[in-house]
Amino acid sequence: MNDINAQPHSLRLTFRHATPSATVSNISQRVTGSTMDVEEMIYTFFEVLIAVSCCLGNMLVILALWTSKSIQEPTFSLIVNLAVADFLVGCVAIPMAVWWTEECPLHSMAVCVVVLLTLVSVLSLMAISVDRFLRVHIPLWYKRTVTQRHSCLVVAACWLVAIPLSFAPMLGWYNDDTLSKSVNSTITCEFIAVIPMSYLVYFNFVLCTLIPLLVMTTLYGYIFCTIRGILRDKPGNGAQKKCQRYLKKEKQLAGSLSLVLALFALSWLPIHILNCITYFRGKNDIPVEYIYVGILLSHANSAVNPVVYAFKIEKIKTAYQKLWRQYISCGEINKGSQISQTTDNTPSSNSDANNE
């Protein structure tokens, strides 16, 4: 330890919980003793609960859509991509945030991973909204042109765009002042001393979250207005009735996906607002309880989506039911049949013994 402290320019990150919110970095300065221990235990308990829910729920979504072949449809391929990002939040991002030690020099990478998964989720939601817009605005062209291959290219583009943007802090977007002050000395720095709040506020929030949310809200508003206007007309011939049935299904699916978008906004806006307050006020005096709640809400979004899919999207609900019948019910039936066979064999054995 003494050898490490003797090295010039060495930095040790003390960012305890690796999340896009740099405000967490001051928790250890303002809360001490047993109170901190209790709050960390409660926080860790809910993080573990959310992580397990993320993994199980989103794995179920991926498995259900994969076995039902619905993944071949462009929209559901994008939903699977969103489920993969949510699954990684539970099995990678949350464990990195909770269990890595404070002295680990890779906390910045943990934060970048969370930003990566958040950005992939935003881009997936954007792709889904554009997909719904095209399906309603130009349905004939959409059916004739858009295929699963196109959706796979979009999924790849989401990850290829998100990776360099989210890892910008590790590629040079950090505070030079911290390094300049570390000449011939060792400093124990917090995350906000290395990664500027300008990255979290202007880049991560405004550019990569707020603007896409506004664009997606506009697209869904256009979709609902268009469908409502068409459905007001009374159906005439068979073609018009078929068109209205098609639009009703599209409206229902768009409503379900817009609910996913609304929950994403409600889950992530609190922690971003806390970052903005910290940045523009120039000091961090936000109660630690608010910070913990903001972090938990942002992570909980990844666990909520599978529940929304199950209750609001008919194809995914049907895939869940098929999966249940195929693996769970069949197992119970096989077990019951084995018990009945055993019961049937027992009297015959007894009768054979009596005959002897």
Please give the pLDDT value at position 45: 92
Residues near 85 by beta carbon (within 8 Å), at least 6 away in sequence:
117, 120, 121, 124, 302
Classify domain 2-333 by CATH number.
Answer: 1.20.1070.10
Q: Domain segments of the chain: what residues?
A: 2-333
Please give the pLDDT value at position 342: 54
Residue count of the chain, please give it. Answer: 356
Q: List, run by run, the mean pLDDT of 10-residue segments along the chain (356 residues).
A: 41 40 43 61 91 94 85 87 94 79 54 84 93 89 89 94 84 58 45 68 91 94 88 69 81 89 94 90 80 90 91 86 76 54 52 50
- Residue 243 burial class via C-beta count within 10 angstroms: exposed 0-12, middle 13-18, buried 19 and up: middle
Please give the pLDDT value at position 129: 93
Please give the pLDDT value at position 113: 82
Whether the pTM exceeds 0.85: the reply is no
Please give the pLDDT value at position 199: 83
Please give the pLDDT value at position 220: 93
Please give the pLDDT value at position 276: 92
Please give the pLDDT value at position 61: 92
Distance separating alpha carbons of residues 126 and 304, to the nearest angstrom: 18
